Amino acid sequence: MQTITPEEVKRRIDSGEKLDVIDVREDEEVAAGMIPGAIHIPLMQLPERLAEIPQRGETVLVCRSGGRSSRAYDFLQAQGLTGLKNMSGGMLAWDQQD
């Protein structure tokens, strides 16, 4: 499984890079905040919303702590998607920056 750190994601966004980020948390969790530009697709909705996930380049998967995004990674990889990265530590680690 390919991973990426929250620090790397933040650095790349801050430098102006447009990252494809999929947040697989539930509605009440994303209400507390999301990574700028992320697309919200709850984990259980991935099968029916597969067409919304970018099929090119790199896609960063995010959840609260890394568990659900890890399951999303496995599912999407089984569907033939490539370029996936799981953000280590999830939003708990993201929120600890600066």
Which of 63, 72, 76, 87 is the catalytic position? 63
Phi, psi of 2, rounded to the nearest 5 degrees: -80, 135
63 counts as catalytic:
yes
* Residue 40, CA distances (Å) to 15, 24, 63, 98 in order: 22, 6, 10, 24
Q: How many CB atoms lie within 10 A of CB 37?
A: 10
Q: Which residue numbers are catalytic? A: 63
